[in-house]
Structure 1
Amino acid sequence: MQSHGFLRTKEIASIVLIFVAIKFADSTPTLLSQKAQNGFWIIPAISFIVIFPSFLVMLYLLKKYEDKHVVQLCEAITGKWLGKLIGLVFFLFAFSSMVFDARNYIEQVKMLYFPESPTDYIFFIFIIVAFFGAKRGIEVIGYTSRIALPVIKFSALLVILLIWEEVVTERVFPFFGSSLSIIATEGVKKASIFAELFFVLIAYKATKETKMFRRGAIIASIIALAEILLFYFIYITVFDYNSIEKIAFPFHDIIQRIEFGEFFTNIETIFMVFWLFAAYLKFIYFLYFTAWFFGAVFNIDNFEPLLLPFAFLVILIGLLPFNSAQTQLVYHEQLYTLMSPFFIILPFLLWVVAWRKGDLRP
């Protein structure tokens, strides 16, 4: 079935892979390790197993209802007003995730690289750059992602190769950390660490053919999971048992251990450039998809003028004087816990309603 977009499988796969897999380089490992300790690296696998069937059901429904993105799908199945209410929840979750993640990334940039710079200046520059990227439109975003993906992933592979000699596999024990039950519980409660898979569904009609979207999203999500698990395994085998839950930004601690001899110093700055590039792309996606959700809910076809107001809202809310540790370890965790049942259950409820209406029957 033909769509109205311009993207192909490679562009969608690049967007999903960067959008999801970058969680190996933020403070998500610290959040997951608070209860699971050194068994935290298994949590993403459990979360993926729990939430991926829901994602596949949503893709199945989108295929059946054809020329619709996720908000239009909800309206077609549940009716206009209930569908818009569900779309509004999508928007609120996407916007809240963007705010929390933005604050988290700004804290990383400030603490690790620009400690003397004011937080509001860094925040402003970061989000405005993301705004100018989002303003270029989905076609340019997809093309840029496809061009940037090999460079970003090569830098990640280089980190793995250079740090591998410090891996001590015995540190993976006790294998289940604090306990298997805690890991299983946290895996279900934190299933929404893959919520970006559902946010991307707003761009379902952005591909030349919708099967390109499905193929790219499924392949990229599996690769993203493998990448996250690999990096989390490296964190747990490089850092000792007692330090893993106390390290705020494990990716940056890892790259600071990399050495090229006495001649090359501050080598982590090189990797910081690629990490920052991926971070910019992530917030370009967040900003564009959030505005798109808002436009879909309120019937605003030309939603791109909303990008600037949303950019400033992210800055204003993100600069609220919350303690950064409390923001990430308390509020962000609560958001994950709130989003998880929504994304796990909603697709199956939509499927049941669509089936009872007879829309899925031959």
Structure 2
Amino acid sequence: MALLDNGKINGRQLMVLVFLYSVGTTVLVIPSGLASIAKQDAWIGGLVGILLGMLTVGLYVMLWRMYPDKTFVGICEAVLGRWAGIIISLIYSLYSFIGTATVLFYVTNFFQIHFLPRTPVVFTCILFAIIVVMGTRMGLESIARTSELMLPWFLILFFVLVTTLTPQINIDNMLPIYEAGTKSVIWAGITFAGTAYMPMVFLFALLPRVQDRQMNLARMGLFLAALAGGLCVVFVTLLCIWILGPDITMRSIFPSYALVKKISIGNFIQRIEAILAGLWFITTYMKTTFYFYSWVTSLSEILRLNNYRTLTLPCAIMMIIFSQIVYPNVIYMQHWDSIVFPPYIIAMGIVIPVVLWVIGLMRGAGKVSASQK
């Protein structure tokens, strides 16, 4: 089936998208999750997660090389047959829908708690959803160019964050090192990889649209971008441990924002968290748009529609409604993120791609795609 979006991106744009996507909401919520598992060794768990994430990205790159011109839906149907492929594709589409709604919940919940406490959350949700739908309807090229425009601002704000917090670092907060033990560190690493890297399975919505003269460099750039995004999140986690301590980091819903509140230079430059919130706005917007784009394009491909844009409005309404009920309360959210989410994303992000890759390898799909090049 022909691609639903004729837009093309190059290797550099892919790197920027992957970098911002891997940071995404991860930088907001993962420090708390890691600290609750591994305490002051949360940063070690993050490094383990990066290692697992690189293996995960390697799996996706191998599957991409095997089926360079197919989306995930196309790969499922090519490998498993039409009906079995459609079933797996529907599960894939369902998860992208859930991912879109949960990220939208994080965004609106964050803004309601810290900036707009008297504004009904549904209005914040609708406003954010509007710009997500606008970006999706404009197509992949517009999303990629937007990410290129946002990247310098992200880097500037991240640099300001690091430099202004450096004087408050207390290395004693990370001691004793490795007290949590191997089991906790590994589980923290799995949680990190499941949040930052395994959702990259939705990259297959855009990988067939990557056109670069040197595709091997583009694939290597995917690794580098994923690594850079993971290191940024680990460094923010380390700052949370150094400055807030493991206990406060563990108890905070958004510890990285609590971290920004600590900025104070000469008792003069203070309360700049609203400015630095641009960090999270940029990354969460890109991640939400990415999820939504993957959802509507995969669903359109399953339904054999010629234009995915016809689904953006009804899907947006579903996204807004579901984001209001996906997490009834914070306790449920923590239970979902810590108990339900890891096996679910492992099945979606590891097990199914491995099965597709192994079957494709047995059928010689990799040799066919290589000969076509």
On whether the aligned pair clears a TM of 0.5, the verdict is: yes
Contact 2:9 2:144 (8 Å CA) reproduced: yes
Label 1:133 to 1:261 Cα distance change in 2 as closer, same or farther (>3 A).
Answer: farther
Q: 1:223 to 1:208 in 2, by over 3 A?
A: same
- Aligned to 1:243, the other structure's residue is in SS state helix
Q: Tell me if structure 1 keeps the 8 A contact 2:199–2:349.
A: no
- Tell me the number of residue pairs that the alignment of Structure 1 and Structure 2 aligns: 360
Please say if 1:273 is aligned against 2:275: no
Deviation at 1:49, TM superposition (A): 2.4
Alignment of 1:45-194 (within 5 A): 45-188=47-190, 191-193=193-195, 194=197
Partners of 1:98 and 1:287 within 8 A in 2: yes
Deviation at 1:263, TM superposition (A): 4.9
Q: 2:99 aligns to what SS in structure 1?
A: helix
CA contact (8 A) 2:198 2:349 kept: yes
CA contact (8 A) 1:51 1:343 kept: no
Change (3 A) 1:348 1:246: same
Q: Which 4+ stretches in 1 moved above 6 angstroms?
A: none
Residues 22-61 of structure 1 mapped to structure 2, 5 A cutoff: 22-61=24-63
Counterpart of 1:199 (choices 185, 199, 202) is 202
Structure 2: distance between partners of 1:115 and 1:121: 12
- Amino acid across the alignment from 1:326: I
Could you tell which deviates more after superposition, 210-219 or 116-125?
A: 210-219
Q: Deviations over 1:234-268 (max 9, x none)?
A: 11111123222111111111111112445544311
> Which digits, 9 at most, give the CA deviation of each residue in 1:222-245, with x for residues without a partner?
111111111111111111232221
Secondary structure class of the residue paired with 1:242 = helix
Q: Conserved in 1, the CA contact under 8 Å of 2:57 and 2:223?
A: no
Q: Which moved more, 1:211-220 or 1:25-34?
A: 211-220
Please list every run of 5 or more consecutive structure 2 residues that lacks an aligned counterpart in the other structure. 369-373
Identity %: 18
Deviation of the 1:135 alpha carbon: 1.7
State whether structure 2 residue 227 is matched by structure 1 residue 225. Answer: no
Q: 1:261-317: CA deviations, max 9, x gaps?
A: 455443112112343233223222221121112122222231122122121111111
* CA deviation profile, 1:89-116 (whole Å, cap 9, x unmatched): 2212221122122212211111111111
* Contact persistence 1:152–1:274 (CA under 8 A): yes
Query: Is the contact made by 1:70 and 1:204 (CA closer than 8 Å) also made in structure 2?
Result: no
Inter-partner Cα distance in structure 2 for 1:203 and 1:83:
19
**Counterpart-to-counterpart distance in 1, 2:65 and 2:229:** 23
In the TM superposition, what whole-angstrom CA distance separates every residue of 1:30-53 from its partner, at most 9, and x where no partner exists? 223222222222223323323432
Partner of residue 311, structure 1 = 316
- Map 1:321-360 → 2, pairs under 5 A: 322-333=327-338, 334-360=340-366
1:221 Cα deviation after fit? 0.5
Cα distance, 1:211 vs. partner? 4.7
C-alpha distance in 1 between matches for 2:345 and 2:54? 14
For 2:331 and 2:185, the matched residues in 1 are separated by 22
Partner amino acid, structure 2, of 1:76: A
Partners of 1:9 and 1:213 within 8 A in 2? yes
Under a length normalisation based on structure 2, what TM-score does the superposition of the two structures give? 0.89
Q: Is the 8 A contact 1:24 1:251 kept in 2?
A: no
**In 1: Cα distance, 2:251 partner to 2:236 partner:** 17
- Indicate conservation of the 8 Å contact 2:157/2:278, yes or no: no
Say whether the 8 Å CA contact 2:39–2:180 is kept in structure 1: yes
- Tell me the amino acid that sits aligned with residue 171 of structure 2: T
Query: Residues 248-267 of structure 1 correspond to what in structure 2 (within 5 A)?
Result: 248-267=253-272
2:327·2:333 contact (CA, 8 Å) conserved in 1? Answer: no
- Superposed CA RMSD in Å reads 2.3
Residues 359 and 320 from structure 1, CA distance in 2 versus in 1: closer, same or farther, beyond 3 angstroms? Answer: closer
Cα deviation, residue 20, structure 1: 0.9
Q: CA deviation at 1:204?
A: 1.0
In the TM superposition, residue 159 of structure 1 has moved relative to its aligned partner by 0.1
Question: 1:295-342, CA deviations, whole angstroms, 9 ceiling, x for partnerless residues?
Answer: 222222311221221211111111128443124311233123311243
